[in-house]
Structure 1
């Protein structure tokens, strides 16, 4: 599976579960605060459904669609966190637990929004 996903090209793509069942359509992509790497996708489930968050790692693009390595029912049972706003660390922990993913490590004290980019200064 492809893991270097371009978030701009992911929105609007269909999402499928590990068995090839359609889950829905990617509405939004959420980036990791520290690295800027795409981390979560919000997938609209059903015509009048809600958005369910799915992890982009270990998901990937297969034949132009997002393929997640989980069953459709697990995705649809993901915590309802709403979309269009930042995910809090607590919300991310809930998602990690739901998908049985390794828990994220705490950022080191020198990582933050006020840290200059490499090569600047």
Structure 2
């Protein structure tokens, strides 16, 4: 993700999938505990819906929107952990597997919410 953007500035931005379909609005940003870098965003997928976690790498910010390079159906099927709580290493691992991402280290660092 673009590192020159304050993670808190993502909150409230619209999020779109790889095909340009609206996913929802960024509700929270989760930082990696070890690095402090933004790692996940919780996107509110609808008025009465839930938040879906999306990876911020390899997502990009384009014209004040978050562009997530995954299909909307995959995003909406992401594991639901609720927002406002710390992601456990097991939850983060589930998200990595769901999106087919490499962990990049022997074990994922838990993430903490940085927004709202």
Work out which structure has the larger RCO, using CA pairs closer than 8 Å and 6 or more positions apart in sequence.
Answer: 2
The question of a shared fold, defined as TM-score above 0.5 by the shorter chain, is answered with yes
Distance across 2 between alignment mates of 1:51 and 1:104? 25
Deviations 1:32-88 (A, max 9, x none): 000000000000001111000000000010111000000100000000111100000
After superposition, the CA RMSD in angstroms is 1.1
Which residue does 2:2 correspond to in 1? 3
Which residue does 2:47 correspond to in 1? 47
Gapped runs of 5+ residues in structure 2? Answer: 108-116
Higher strand share goes to which structure? 2
Count of paired positions: 106
| Larger CA Rg, structure 1 vs 2 | 1
Tell me the TM-score normalised to structure 1 length.
0.84
Gapped runs of 5+ residues in structure 1? Answer: 108-121
Q: Which runs of 4+ in 1 moved over 2 A?
A: none
